[in-house]
Amino acid sequence: MAEFLVTGGAGFIGSNLVDALLAAGHNVRVLDNLSMGKRSNLPLDNPHLRFIEGDVADAEVVAQAVAGCAGVAHLAAVASVQASVDDPVSTHQSNFIGTLNVCEAMRQHGVRRVVYASSAAIYGNNGEGVAIDEATAKAPLTPYASDKLAGEHYLDFYRRQHGLEPAVFRFFNIFGPRQDPSSPYSGVISIFTQRAQQGLPISVFGDGEQTRDFFYVGDLVALLMQGLLSEQVVSDPLNVGWSQAVSLNQLLAEIGVLCGGLPPVTHLPARAGDIRHSRADNARLQAHYHMPEQTPLREGLRQLLGL
């Protein structure tokens, strides 16, 4: 069976992808520095899994991890936008140099297929209020977004020059089991559900009428698997969202139903620079991928809450 490398495989999205690859009978290598990921996210006793603790910023380590594998899902990054604002130099090592190291290692070892985790952050505030398509002008407002966009450009260079086959996905708001709720900048669903379960007060920044296009991690994994395994991939970047707007107030109502009520909800001033409405135009994704059946928000929340 083919062996695949998942960088960042001990994290939220990566570990869900690892589970799916193993379940499909593949061998998996994970390269993760455990800065955010956890060993407990991985089935370490599975003989088909090899865990390498190491940094994608280390070219040598990346080259060893890439050698001999059939394809790479490159998910390792400091996923916190705020961390990139606070420490652009250090996060650049993970978020950009790590991507360049993966490209170079793939070129050296003749590995072609790579799935890349880009982000809706590359659009900045552009397209706000309409469904954002991939042609929307790019406006990276943070080091995180700049690094993700630069990574896309480098992958395209390696595609043209060295025959790499990148499958580039621009994730909107992903949620589900193993998303870490511990920072104030963690995904809102992970924070709200954890606080609801623990009976702790919930803070809504603004009036709660801002909307997001929430996408369940299991549905994302189905797409990442296709990106990794399908005969051919489209090299154009693809938005990953359902093109559905859910407000925070609607989200809280759903959580309230599942948890049998909500703790006190406080409204605080809106976050500076917060995007009011973010929604993907996913026509290009639909044209090129077999879309999974959508996991409804309530069902995704149920999974996350362990109900």
Closest by alpha carbon to 240, among 212, 220, 225? 220
In this chain, which of 105, 106, 275, 285 binds ligand UD2, going by CB under 6 A? 275
173 binds ligand UD2 (CB under 6 A): yes
DSSP 261: S
- Which of the listed partners (ligand NAD, ligand UD2, none) does 37 bind, with a CB threshold of 5 to 8 Å by partner kind? ligand NAD
Characterize the bridge pairing of strands 173-175 and 71-74. unpaired
Q: Considering only the stretches 6-14, 154-162, 200-208, 251-259, report the one whose residues sit in contact with ligand NAD under the rule CB under 6 A.
A: 6-14
28 part of the interface to ligand NAD, by CB under 6 A? no
| Min dist. Cβ of residue 204 to ligand UD2 (A) | 4
- 214 in Cβ contact with 189 (< 8 Å): yes
Q: Pairing relation of β-strands 71-74 and 113-119?
A: parallel
Q: Is 258 exposed, middle or buried (0-12, 13-18, 19+ CB in 10 A)?
A: middle
Cα gap 141→31, rounded to integer Å: 29
Q: Contact, 3 vs 27, CB < 8 A?
A: yes
**Closer CB to ligand UD2, residue 160 or residue 271?**
271
Under the binding rule (CB under 6 A), the answer on residue 36 touching ligand NAD is: yes
Q: How far is the CB of 261 from ligand NAD (least distance, A)?
A: 27
d(CA 139, CA 124): 5
Select from ligand UD2, ligand NAD, none the partner in contact with residue 117, using the beta carbon and a kind-dependent cut-off of 5 to 8 Å.
ligand NAD
Residue 301, interface with ligand UD2 (CB under 6 A)?
no
The number of CA neighbours under 13 Å toward the Cβ of 295 is 18
Residues that bind ligand UD2 (CB under 6 A): 81, 119-121, 173, 185-188, 191, 203-205, 210, 212, 248, 271, 274-275, 278
Could you list the residues that contact ligand NAD (CB under 6 A)? 8, 10-14, 31-37, 55-57, 75-79, 94, 98, 117, 119, 171, 173-174, 180, 187
